[in-house]
Structure formats: structure tokens, C-alpha cells
């Protein structure tokens, strides 16, 4: 029987449809799961692969309706969630008014830190449209850690220790993934911001003039972006975007901490 279950789990993992590709990609974003997802060809028969089989096999599918609540203030975070489809709104209320803090889209991950701590939810979450989640309960996850102490348990305990040592509550516990169209827009705006120098503006004007004379029309925004990309490396753009998101998250978390203090007064 154990061999039969192992065969089923391996078959589920190797069946590379859209859902499983989504799960693998999502797991790569979680600090304590990323290392075991990226196993090499030489490690095909290692504990890493078997551990991932167990995690994927342990995921539950949850279907939610529009306006259904995922988390209320004071709720325990017992599950790690992967948003397979739909939109989740993260919101809070202060002085009788509701404030939407974030909208989470496909690929976003919820409770990847607080589901192993004693912290309770300080914000509310609801579904802005019909959605589908993949959920991993903390009890199942702990059993997998015990079964694979070197492969997963060590990574997980190390990460957990770093969070405990920080001694700072993290109210907004999610990894946000933006839709491709939004990512492209942010990337374009970032390129223009980085390239916004007197030298670039002069060269862009000259390029536009040359383009209009040769093509008999004005450059499109996409063509301007392509020209701008010759001045800015994508590595620099990525670093700039990541830093902006990081600083924005710090600001949002600190804002929620202050709201919590005011509530408790």
C-alpha cells in the first residue's frame, strides 16, 4: 500500500498540466519551499522530490463565492493559501470607514508566515469575485516537516527562527503577484523614470525627429519604450521595482500597526 500511494503521488507530480505548473511556480516564492522545488536532474530520486510530492498531494482545493470572507480580525491563520484564480481584497476598518489595502490576484500567497505563529489576523480578507484556493493546513505541513527533517524541516525551522528573532508583528502576511498587464505597465513606467535624464531626453527627441522623417508618422509609446530600453538594463529595472514594492510594504505594515494601537486604546 505505501508503494502504491507513492506511485500515485509521483504520478500527480509529474502530470504537468496548468494547475501543477502553477503550484510549483507558487511554491518557489515561499522562502522555506523554494530550495526544495529547485532540485536538479542529479537529485531526481532524492528526498527533495519526495517531499514536494507530499506537499502537493496534501493540498486541498477550496472554492469561494464573491463576498465570502476568508479571514476576520482575530482569526487564527491555520492554512497556507495559494490563490489559483480570482481576487482577494485585504481591508480594514477604522472609525467606521472601510479601507481596501490591497487586491491579491492569481499566484498570490497568503499566511506564509503567520500560519506557523500564534499571531491572529489583524486585517480582514474577502473574495472580490468567485475564486479558487489551494490550501495546506499547518498540521499536514508539520507532519511533512517531521518526515523530511533535513530536506524541509531544517529550512522551515531556520526561517521560523528568523521571524521569531525579529520580534515584530507582520500584519500583512502575503506575497502579492500582479497581473501581467500591470507588471508590464509598472516596468514601462520604471524604465522611463530611470531613463529620465537630460542626455536621454535629447537623444529621444532626436530619435523621434529621425523616425518621423523616415516613417512619416510619430513614434508609438511602445516604440519609445523600446528605444528607452537601450539605455536601461532590465536588471536595474527589476531591482528598482523590487525596492519600491519592499518600501511600500514596510509603509503599509507600519500603518496597520498604528491602526491596531489606536484600536486598543
Question: In Å, how far are 35, 42, 45, 166 from 16, measured between CA atoms?
Answer: 20, 20, 18, 38
- Residues 168 and 195 grouped into a single domain: no
- Residues 102 and 155 grouped into a single domain: yes
- Residues 112 and 151 grouped into a single domain: yes
Residue 248 confidence (pLDDT): 77
- Residues 122 and 234 grouped into a single domain: no
Residue 127 confidence (pLDDT): 97
What CA–CA distance (Å, rounded) separates 96 from 82?
Answer: 31
What CA–CA distance (Å, rounded) separates 84 from 63?
Answer: 10
Count the Cβ atoms, other than its own, within 10 Å of residue 73.
13
- Residues 211 and 110 grouped into a single domain: no
- Residues 193 and 173 grouped into a single domain: no
- Write the DSSP assignment of the chain as a string of letters: -HHHHHHHHHHHHH---HHHHHHHHHHTTSHHHHHHHS--GGGTTSHHHHHHHHHHHHPEEEEE-TT-EEE-TT-B--EEEEEEES-EEEEEEETTEEEEEEEE-TT-EE-TTGGGSSPBP-SEEEESS-EEEEEEEHHHHHHHHHHSIIIIIHHHHHHHHHHHHHT---SS-EE----HHHHHHHHHHHHHHHT-SHHHHHHHHHHHHHHHHHHSSPPPHHHHHHHHTTTS-HHHHHHHHHHHHHHHHHHHHHHHHHHHHHHH-
Q: pLDDT by residue for the chain (265 residues), tens digit each?
A: 455 455 555 555 555 567 778 888 888 889 899 888 876 555 555 778 888 888 988 999 999 999 999 998 888 888 999 999 999 999 988 777 888 888 999 999 999 888 877 677 778 999 999 999 999 999 999 999 999 998 899 989 898 888 877 766 667 888 888 777 877 888 888 887 777 778 778 888 888 899 889 989 998 888 887 888 777 778 888 888 778 877 777 777 677 777 666 666 6
Residue 116 confidence (pLDDT): 79
- Residues 28 and 146 grouped into a single domain: yes
pTM as predicted: 0.74
Identify the domain containing residue 13 by its residue range. 2-177
- Residues 164 and 211 grouped into a single domain: no
Of 197, 175, 188, the C-alpha closest to 241 is 188
Residue 69 confidence (pLDDT): 95
What CA–CA distance (Å, rounded) separates 75 from 61?
Answer: 20
* Number of domains, the chain: 2
- Residues 49 and 163 grouped into a single domain: yes
- Residues 172 and 235 grouped into a single domain: no
Domain containing 148 — which CATH number? 2.60.120.10
**CB within 8 Å of 102: residues ≥ 6 apart:** 89, 90, 172, 174, 176, 252
Amino acid at each position: 500500500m505505501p508503494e502504491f500511494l507513492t506511485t500515485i503521488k509521483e504520478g500527480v507530480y509529474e502530470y504537468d498540466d496548468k494547475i501543477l505548473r502553477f503550484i510549483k511556480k507558487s511554491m518557489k516564492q515561499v522562502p522555506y519551499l523554494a530550495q526544495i522545488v529547485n532540485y536538479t536532474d542529479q537529485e531526481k530520486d532524492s528526498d527533495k522530490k519526495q517531499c514536494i510530492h507530499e506537499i502537493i498531494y496534501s493540498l486541498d482545493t477550496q472554492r469561494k463565492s464573491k463576498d465570502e470572507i476568508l479571514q476576520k480580525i482575530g482569526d487564527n491563520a491555520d492554512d497556507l493559501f495559494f490563490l489559483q484564480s480570482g481576487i482577494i481584497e485585504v481591508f480594514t476598518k477604522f472609525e467606521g470607514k472601510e479601507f481596501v489595502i490591497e487586491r491579491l490576484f492569481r499566484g498570490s500567497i497568503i499566511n506564509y508566515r503567520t500560519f506557523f505563529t500564534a499571531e491572529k489576523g489583524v486585517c480582514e480578507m474577502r473574495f472580490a469575485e468567485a475564486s479558487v484556493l489551494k490550501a495546506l493546513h499547518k498540521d499536514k505541513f508539520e507532519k511533512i516537516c517531521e518526515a523530511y527533517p533535513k530536506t524541509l524541516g531544517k529550512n522551515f525551522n531556520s526561517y521560523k527562527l528568523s521571524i521569531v528573532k525579529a520580534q515584530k508583528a507582520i500584519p500583512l502576511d502575503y506575497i502579492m503577484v500582479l497581473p501581467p498587464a500591470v507588471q508590464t505597465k509598472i516596468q514601462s513606467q520604471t524604465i522611463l523614470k530611470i531613463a529620465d535624464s537630460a542626455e536621454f531626453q535629447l537623444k529621444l527627441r532626436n530619435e523621434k525627429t529621425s523616425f518621423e522623417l523616415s516613417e512619416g508618422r510619430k513614434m508609438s509609446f511602445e516604440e519609445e519604450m523600446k528605444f528607452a530600453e537601450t539605455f536601461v538594463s532590465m536588471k536595474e529595472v527589476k531591482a528598482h521595482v523590487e525596492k519600491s514594492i519592499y518600501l511600500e510594504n514596510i509603509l503599509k505594515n507600519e500603518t496597520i500597526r498604528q491602526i491596531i494601537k489606536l484600536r486598543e486604546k
